[in-house]
Amino acid sequence: MSSTSKKAGGKWSGVKSRFRLADYGFMVAFLILLLIATTMTDVFFTQRNLSNLFRQIVTNGLLSFGMLIVILSGGIDLSIGPIVALTGIMAAGLQAGMWFPAAMLIALAVGMTVGAVNGVLIARFRLQPFIVTLATMGAIRGIVYVYSETPQVPADPAFRTLLGGGFIGPVPVPALILLAFFPLVWIFLNRTTIGRSIVAIGGNEEAVRLAGINVKAHIILAYVVSGFFAGVAGVLLASRLGIAQPSVGVGYELDAIAAVVIGGGILGGGGGGALGTMGGVLALGLIDNLLNLFNVQSYYQQILKGLIILFAVLARRKE
C-alpha cells in the first residue's frame, strides 16, 4: 500500500472516530435531557404530556424522513414548510366539494408534484438545490395565499376524529402513522436497490454514474419522496388542529435539518440513517416539550435549534 493510501485511510479512520464521538455525545445529551425531565418537573411523565409530545413530533418526524432522503442524495429541500401549508389547506378546503379521502389524495399528489418540479430543476438543469428550493419555497408560499387567504375548516368531522384527533388505546393515530413510516424508510434506504443508489449518489455521484445508474431519475425521486412526506405532514397537521392556516410551516425546514444532522446526517451526503434521524426527532421534541413546560419563549427555542444545527455540523465535518 502506498504512503498516500495509508494517509487517506488514516484520515478517514480519524473522521469516523470523530463521528462516533459525536454520536456518543448526542446520546449522552439526550440522557441528560431525560434526567432533567424526570427530576425538575412532575408533569413530564403524565399520560397527557406524553400524548401531546408524541402528537407534536409527528410533523417534524415526517418532514425529517423526507429531508433525510434528500440530504443523502447530496441535496437539501427548503420548500417543505410551504408544502405543508399548501397540502393542509387543500385537504381541508377541498372537502367542501368531495369526500375527504379524495381531498387528501389530491393534496398528496400536489406535494409530490412540487417535489418533482424541484427534482427536475436540480437534476435536469444542474441547478443548486439550495437556490431551487429557496425559490420554490417563496413561490409555493405565494400560491398558498392565492388559494386561500383565510383559514380553512374541514367540512367532514371524520377527517379530525379518525386521523389527527384519533387514538388507538393511549397512542395517538398520527404517532402510529409516523411509527409505521419509520421501518419503511429504513428498509427503503438499506434493503432496496433504489434507496442504496440514492445513498451512493450523495457519497460519490460520479462513481454512481459510471456504474450505469440513472442519477437524474434517482435525484428526482428523492425530491418526490420529500414532497410526499411534506404532504402527509400537512394533511395530518390540519387534521390534528381541526383548521388549516395559510401561514403554517414557517421554519419547519430548520427543525427537519436539525433532526437529520443530530441523527448523524452529513449535509451534502455521505452519512445519515432512519434510526439516527428518529433519534434526532425525539431529541428535538423533548427539548421543545421541556422548554414549553418551563414557559420559555418560542424565539429562545429557535435560537437553541440554530445553535444545535451549528454544533452538529461542526461535530460531523469531514475535514
Question: pLDDT digit of tens for each residue in the chain (319 aa)?
Answer: 544 444 444 444 545 555 566 677 777 878 887 888 888 788 888 888 999 999 999 999 999 999 999 999 999 999 999 999 999 999 999 999 999 999 999 999 999 999 999 999 999 999 999 999 999 999 999 999 999 999 999 999 999 999 999 999 889 999 999 999 999 999 999 999 999 999 999 999 999 999 999 999 999 999 999 999 999 999 999 999 999 999 999 989 989 998 998 888 888 888 889 999 999 999 899 888 888 888 888 788 788 878 877 887 777 665 5
Contact 215, 209 (CB under 8 A): yes
Report d(CA 239, CA 235) in Å as an integer. 6
The type of residue at 253 is E
Kindly state the cell numbers that stand for 242: 381541526
Domain extents for the chain? 13-315
- pTM, two decimals, is 0.92
What pLDDT shows up at residue 5?
45
What is the sign of the dihedral through the CA atoms of 93, 251, 201 and 22?
negative
Kindly state the cell numbers that stand for 212: 450505469
DSSP E strand boundaries for the chain:
167-168, 171-172
Helix 47-72 to helix 80-93 angle (10° resolution) is 120
Report d(CA 248, CA 238) in Å as an integer. 10
96's CB contacts (< 8 A; 6+ apart) are 155
**Residue 47: burial class (beta carbons within 10 Å; 0-12, 13-18, 19+):** exposed
Contact 273, 189 (CB under 8 A): yes
Contact 277, 23 (CB under 8 A): no
What pLDDT shows up at residue 12?
42
What pLDDT shows up at residue 278?
94
The domain 13-315 having CATH identifier 3.40.50: the answer here is no
Report d(CA 51, CA 120) in Å as an integer. 40
What pLDDT shows up at residue 317?
66
Contact 259, 277 (CB under 8 A): yes
240's CB contacts (< 8 A; 6+ apart) are 55, 58, 160, 163, 164, 165, 174
